[in-house]
Amino acid sequence: MISEHRPPPEVPWWALASAGTAPVLLVGGFTIAAARQPSGFDSIRDTISSLAALGATDRWIMTTALAGLGACYAATGFGLRPAGPVGRTLLVGGGLATILVAAFPQPAHGNAVSHTVAATLAFTTLGAWPVFAARRRTGIPLLTRRASVTATAAMFALLLWFVLEVNGSHRGLAERCAALAEAMWPFLVVVSSRLATRGIDRDGALQPGPAPTRG
């Protein structure tokens, strides 16, 4: 049955590019940067921020990756037209906060308040945006209320794990899992949106086209 709802606006190609680049920058950044650290560095224990901290070996790698990641989030938020406006705004805000994370690095020892505030804003807004991006009536599976609430709940569960590991031995792993989940969800939503605008329904079947005419 053909939906009578107005078709969702198309997501531009550059939003797909930015959404797909985000997880590549994140994983590539913390993997390459970790490989440049001294032998005592442990990705399971040590945070992503420590890779861009003052005094870290080749800190420019993770700093550049974080800045690029933030720019990707912002671009994706601008291009994700089918999503709710508040959700898009939060995604853009999360991108800007991620850029601030890169701009305000941790010191070689101790903690910087500016970095902590920026990281908290980034993690919180990037975890919250899906539920505010949901549409009540939509043909896009990952913008439904159920999918969006599930995504936000899962991301905040990972963030809670990260918080609980503040002095634990798996803090780095928890942070990487939370950050990767937040990087992947915009990409999945963009792909889902582009498929929907190409006539694919929520079950993955092609929408029926007009009946052929006989000559």
In this structure, how many other beta carbons lie within 10 angstroms of the beta carbon of residue 187?
20
**Nearest by Cα to 77 from 22, 5, 144, 120:** 22
**What pLDDT does residue 7 have?**
67
Report residue 6's pLDDT band, with 50, 70 and 90 as the boundaries.
low
pLDDT digits (tens, 9 = 90+) for 20-44: 999 999 999 999 999 999 999 999 9
**Nearest by Cα to 126 from 199, 49, 196, 185:** 185
Report residue 201's pLDDT band, with 50, 70 and 90 as the boundaries.
very low
Report residue 2's pLDDT band, with 50, 70 and 90 as the boundaries.
very low
Dihedral angle at the C-alpha atoms of 48, 21, 11, 101, nearest 10 degrees? Answer: 30
The 10 Å CB-count burial string (b at 16+, else e) for 32-53 is ebbeebeeebebeebbbbbbbb
| pTM of the model as a whole | 0.87
The 10 Å CB-count burial string (b at 16+, else e) for 125-154 is bbbbbbbbbbbeebbbbbbbeebbeebbee
Our separate counts of H helices and E strands in the chain read 6, 0
On whether the CB atoms of residues 134 and 153 are closer than 8 A, the answer is no
pLDDT at 154 over 70: yes
Q: Which distant-in-sequence residues (6+ apart) come within 8 Å of 155 by Cβ?
A: 126, 127, 130, 178, 181, 182, 185
